[in-house]
Amino acid sequence: MHTLSDCLARDAADPLRSLRGHFALPADLIYLDGNSLGPLPRSAAARATQVVNQEWGQGLIRSWNDAGWFGMPQRVGARIAPLIGAQPHEVVAADSTSVNLFKVLSAALAVAAADAPGRTVVLSERHNFPTDLYIAQSVCQTHGCTLELVEPEAIDGALNSKVAVLLLTHVNYRTGAMHDMAAITAAAHAAGALVVWDLAHSTGAVPVDLNGAEADFAVGCGYKFLNGGPGAPAFVWAHARHVARTDLLWMQPLTGWFGHAAPFAFTPDYQSAPGMARFLCGTPPVISLAALDAALDVFDAAHALGGMAALRAKSLALGDLFIELEEQRCAGLGLGLATPRQHAQRGSQVSLTHCDADASHSAYAIVQALIARGVIGDFRAGAPGEPDILRFGITPLYLGYEDIWNAVEQLKQVLESGEWREARFARKAAVT
Ligand SMILES: *Cc1c(COP(=O)(O)O)cnc(C)c1O
């Protein structure tokens, strides 16, 4: 049995404890939603102010050179690279995850068409994040391909000689289930397919080794576990073997001037830049990139304390504690576990279900009641035929063991008191 004093002792002994001070988190709040919008790093607030007032306000257009604005997509990408097992020059920060998916999926199909003509299927998971499927639908239509969707356990069996590209999200947004990137990439390659990984719920939360897995393309999100702020730029990675190709006229279809070999030559014809710059499109969002850049400082501090391995160990310990406390203290209150227990199959969140005979939206209502008590998690509608999800993001950069204790205590009280039934009516009122 865990006790509150055990939790306090674990916090006192936590080597990553000091990292919490990097964040401007409101007092009296337990933030379990950093997988959806990371909190504000103090350094990001300071940097954004400085960019606005000094670099933009005083430097004006001179800052493109003087403050190094031009090189920001590459500089920020280089700082993300060690978190995903990439070389610094292999990552650029740009655009949104959705836009980057469009680029890399198109690039993967262009590579497949050149190397393995006749493959016309993009394979993905039925319960992949919707934007991934929406983008895939459009890219497939443009390329005359078919999008085939399967359950996770059917991926291996569906990798046949028709599959050009396998598009997967590493950590599932609903359940937190994590794929074995190395094994799946190897299986796809053995079947002659390329693999695109979406790292939205992985980057900054679980160790990722893209080069180790010999993956083909990847994208990821700047505003989730990287804490870059709302709408922060996303990133793109492509394996060097693809980036180096010169036989493809366009590596990707969004051939804006920032991906041109000589943007300021103003020549009429597109010529792809060498290296990852070819994945850029238009003018970078400097203020947002600066905030993301500063947000990455906490990962430098974490690096000195054991890096992603230490963050992963603490994330799993916090997740285990959440699951064990929930099972001990909320037994009989209708909760179920939707997240895999096995560490190798779990990302950095705990997802629960709630079963209540006469309340169809109980998961939503419970999350609302928790938020009213200062415990911020979120709700996700279940996959068709599956229960709804109460989702709790575990960010070891700023969460401690006492936070988990208190969050589960609040969950227990919400369920025991039945106060969530009021929140359910509040939702109905808000919807109509
Ligand atoms: C959050 C998330 C996205 C976000 O895409 P945007 O273009 O930033 O809106 C994409 N894919 C997955 C898997 C996500 O979890």
CA gyration radius for the chain? 22
Query: Which of the listed residues 97, 202, 219 should we mutate to test ligand 1's pocket, taking the one with most ligand atoms within 8 A of CB?
Result: 97
Asked if residue 293 has pLDDT above 50, the reply is: yes
| pLDDT in the model for residue 432 | 41
Alpha carbon of 200 to ligand 1 centroid (Å): 6
The pLDDT of residue 175 is above 80: yes
Q: Report CA(183)–ligand 1 centroid distance (Å).
A: 24
Provide the pLDDT confidence category of residue 251 given band limits of 50, 70 and 90: confident
Which tens digit of pLDDT belongs to each residue from 125-141? Answer: 999 999 999 999 999 99
Which of 98, 134, 288, 380 has most ligand 1 atoms within 8 Å of its beta carbon, as the pocket-test mutant? 98
Q: What is the pLDDT of residue 385?
A: 87
Query: How far apart (Å, rounded) are the C-alpha atoms in residues 182 and 207?
Result: 12
The pair of three-digit structure tokens given for residue 306, joined into one six-digit string: 């054991």
Q: 359's torsion region: left (phi>0), alpha (psi -120 to 50) or beta? A: beta
Q: How far is CA 235 from CA 48, 84, 150, 347, 395, in A?
A: 19, 11, 27, 20, 20
**Among the atoms of ligand 1, which is closest to the Cα of residue 221?**
8
Ligand 1 pocket mutation pick from 36, 124, 129, 169 by most atoms within 8 angstroms of CB: 129
Residue 271: CB atoms within 10 A of its CB come to: 15
- Is there an atom of ligand 1 within 6 Å of 200 CB? yes
Averaged pLDDT, 291-299: 98
User: What is residue 249's predicted lDDT score, i.e. its pLDDT?
Assistant: 77
Question: Which residues have a catalytic role annotated?
Answer: 129, 198, 223-224, 391
* Angle of CA points 265, 268, 269, to nearest 5°: 100
Is the predicted pLDDT of residue 172 greater than 60, yes or no? yes
Q: Specify the pairing of strand 121-125 against strand 30-31.
A: unpaired
Nearest CA to ligand 1 atom 4: 97
Give me ligand 1 centre to Cα 199, in Å: 9
**339 has pLDDT over 70:** yes
Would the pLDDT of 287 be above 70? Answer: yes
| pLDDT for 260 beyond 80 | yes
**How far apart are the CA of 284 and the centre of ligand 1, in A?**
19
State yes or no: pLDDT of 431 exceeds 60: no
CATH topology of domain 68-300: Aspartate Aminotransferase; domain 2 (3.40.640)
Question: How does the average pLDDT of the chain come out, rounded?
Answer: 96
Query: Which residues are paired to 196 by β-bridges?
Result: 167, 217
**What digits encode the pLDDT tens for the residues 51-86?**
999 999 999 999 999 999 999 999 999 999 999 999
The pLDDT of residue 430: 53
% residues pLDDT > 70 (the chain): 97
Tell me, in angstroms, the distance from the centre of ligand 1 to residue 129's CA.
7
CA of 333 to the centre of ligand 1 (A): 33
Whether residue 357 has pLDDT greater than 80: no
How far apart CA 99 and CA 132 sit, in angstroms, is 10
Question: Where does the pLDDT of residue 422 fall: very low under 50, low under 70, confident under 90, or very high at 90 and above?
Answer: confident
Mean pLDDT within 101-117 = 97
Q: Please give the number of the atom of ligand 1 that sits closest to the Cα of 99.
A: 7
Fold equal for 4-41+307-431 and 68-300: no
The string of pLDDT tens digits covering residues 322-331 is: 999 999 999 9
Residue 365 scores a pLDDT above 50: yes
Mean pLDDT of 374-392: 93
Q: Kindly state the average pLDDT of the residues 340-348.
A: 98
- Helical H segments across 14-91, by residue range: 42-50, 63-66, 72-80
Residue 248: the pLDDT is 87
198 CB within 6 A, ligand 1: yes
pLDDT in tens, 204-224: 999 999 999 999 999 999 999
Domain ranges of the chain: 4-41+307-431, 68-300
Closest CA to 208 of 314, 301, 73, 82: 82
Q: How far apart are CA 230 and CA 130, in angstroms?
A: 19
CATH architecture, domain 4-41+307-431: Alpha-Beta Complex (3.90)
pLDDT of residue 424: 61
* C-beta 132 within 6 A of ligand 1: yes
Residue 155 structure tokens:
């991926």
